[in-house]
A and B are shown apart, each in its own frame.
Chain A
Amino acid sequence: GAGVSQSPSNKVTEKGKDVELRCDPISGHTALYWYRQRLGQGLEFLIYFQGNSAPDKSGLPSDRFSAERTGESVSTLTIQRTQQEDSAVYLCASSLAPGQGVGGYTFGSGTRLTVV
């Protein structure tokens, strides 16, 4: 597609429920990233996929968080047993190559997750 697409745009869930967030990267972008942005804060790295290489999961805050990516296409970020501190905007980005290339990353508009 023309840009990075994320769904849903907003998600309200009850504490303890599982949620799944989706990201469709730009076609041809081999690298895909997930970041978390708490209210008024910067971007916190979560996980990054590059082609068929093992993903860099070093930013995942706990084992309740996991992500998958099928080839060089769609990625899903799953949060199990959600907690109120998981409330944030989850941003997905893609790029031609990890951290490089003109313009760096192209971001989606994010999924705003609210845990009540």
Chain B
Amino acid sequence: GESVGLHLPTLSVQEGDNSIINCAYSNSASDYFIWYKQESGKGPQFIIDIRSNMDKRQGQRVTVLLNKTVKHLSLQIAATQPGDSAVYFCAENPNQAGTALIFGKGTTLSVSS
């Protein structure tokens, strides 16, 4: 079964709001986490990543927070725009030799103007 999951399957926000998408993982040995964005009809695209020796990483309008104590990962999007509407997946690297990334089920973010 999957070891990565998300708290909410859908999130609806107004343009300009800040969005927070959450993810819980179960493998305490995972050492690398990635957020992907998937627009309709396309493959997932990298947004931001974080290693387990960090608890926060910032990009352009996005911030990833990692809480290893409770095995929780979140993606914060500042000033959400309609173009941010997509499905967001978190993924973990289980830190086992020869093991592929494990993806969660995804959260659909809908941004209305």
Contacts and interface: CB of A to CB of B under 8 A. Distances in A.
Interface in A81-116: 91, 93, 98-100, 102-110
Contact of B98 (A53, A91, A103): A53
Interface residues of A, number: 26
Interface of B: 2, 32, 34, 36, 41-46, 49, 89, 91, 93-94, 97-106
B98 A50 contact: yes
B98 A45 contact: no
B62 to A, nearest CB: 14
Nearest to A108: B43
A48 B45 contact: no
A109 B103 CA distance: 17
A108 B102 CA distance: 17
Q: Is the interface of A mostly helix, strand, loop or mixed?
A: loop
A103 B41 contact: no
B44 A107 contact: yes
Given A41-B105, A98-B100, A104 B43 contact: no
B99 A103 contact: no
11 contacts: A42-B2, A42-B103, A42-B105, A45-B101, A50-B98, A53-B98, A99-B101, A103-B46, A104-B32, A104-B49, A105-B44
A109 B99 contact: no
A43 B103 contact: yes
Contact of B44 (A43, A59, A99): A43
Contacts of A50: 98
Contacts of B46: 103-106
Given A35-B103, A98-B99, A98-B100, A110 B49 contact: no
Given A42-B105, A93-B43, A104 B100 contact: no
